[in-house]
Chain A
Amino acid sequence: MKLSRKKLKVEVPSVAMGDIAFNLLVFFVILARAQDDRHLQWTPARARSIESAAPAAVRIAIDKNNDLFFNGMKTSVGQLKDLITQRLGDLPAGKRTVWLKVHDETAALRFEPVIEAISSAGGELVHILDEDKE
């Protein structure tokens, strides 16, 4: 007499898939934050008739503590021109957009040299602002 062998079902356990996805997401969020400046504290200045800005190749920010950031990393005005030039490389016109986020109370002494550095590095300056609806 031949006994039939009981067939075992082999399945890949999928219970942990959600946890894996969660951990991957956390990993990529942390990685993305390193080049982001969303954690900075600043209040945008207000202006009339603003428009949607082109995607940024470089993001520069001056926060409410007067600190200067290049793509989320703290830097100094002296290094800024070289950093922008290096980052923009040989990008064609139209893709050399530099977003400038400046806290509304920042003094000219601080932000004008930054604007000059962007200009001399060949960046296409866009001031990030809030719309003044009044």
Chain B
Amino acid sequence: MKIRRQTGLLIEPPGVATGDIAFNLIVFFLVCASTQPDSGRKQNLPKSEQTQQQQEKSENLQIDLTRTLVQINGEPVKMKDFIPLVKAKLSGKSRPEDKVVVVKSKKDVPYNHWIAVTTRIEEAGGIVTLQIEEEQQQIVP
């Protein structure tokens, strides 16, 4: 009969590589976590002084935005008809200053609606310009 010899030694897994494993895990999770959006739309806005001069020289399209509505020169327009209408109104205008489209928004217009409209203006060949109402503070004595 063969008797097995017992050594009584503890066998431990090597722990030297634990740090490296932790390091690699962290790198992995960092890469996974950094999936923030990094794409979008470039928008060139003419400087306000230039816009004022341009408005004096030529009649530009004016888009009025409310929370749900879009108006071109005061006339309500459906979103599906928006691009063809703007294209039609801009046709025949070759100078960049004539292609300026003035966007005037009500205070409560949400960003997603604003982006949808300004994106369509640019797709139609227009140059977006904002008309912002200046707030005036009056101190009552």
Residues in chain A within 8 A of chain B (CB atoms) = 14-19, 21-22, 25, 29, 38, 44-53, 99, 102-109, 111-113, 115-116, 119-120, 124-131
Closest Cβ of chain B: how far from A44's Cβ, in Å? 5
Contacting residues, chain A, for B19 (C-beta < 8 A): 16-19, 21-22
- Determine the main DSSP class of A at the interface with B: mixed
- Taking a contact as CB atoms under 8 Å apart, the answer to whether A106 and B111 are in contact is yes
For chain B, give the interface size range: 35 or more
Decide: A22 near B26, CB < 8 A? Known: A50-B39, A53-B39, A126-B42: yes
Additional 19 contacts, C-beta under 8 A, given A15-B16, A18-B21, A25-B27: A18-B19, A21-B20, A22-B22, A44-B37, A45-B111, A45-B115, A47-B41, A48-B119, A49-B123, A53-B40, A107-B110, A107-B111, A108-B65, A108-B108, A113-B132, A119-B45, A119-B47, A129-B39, A129-B41
| Contact call A115/B130, Cβ cutoff below 8 A | yes
A14 to B48: give the CA distance in the assembly, Å.
62
- Chain B: CB-nearest residue to A107: B108
Chain A residues whose C-beta falls within 8 Å of the C-beta of B20 in the assembled complex: 17-18, 21
28 contacts between A and B (CB under 8 A): A14-B16, A16-B19, A17-B20, A18-B17, A18-B18, A21-B20, A22-B19, A25-B23, A25-B27, A29-B30, A46-B112, A49-B123, A50-B39, A51-B40, A52-B39, A53-B42, A99-B38, A102-B111, A105-B110, A106-B110, A107-B109, A108-B108, A112-B132, A115-B45, A119-B45, A124-B42, A127-B40, A127-B115
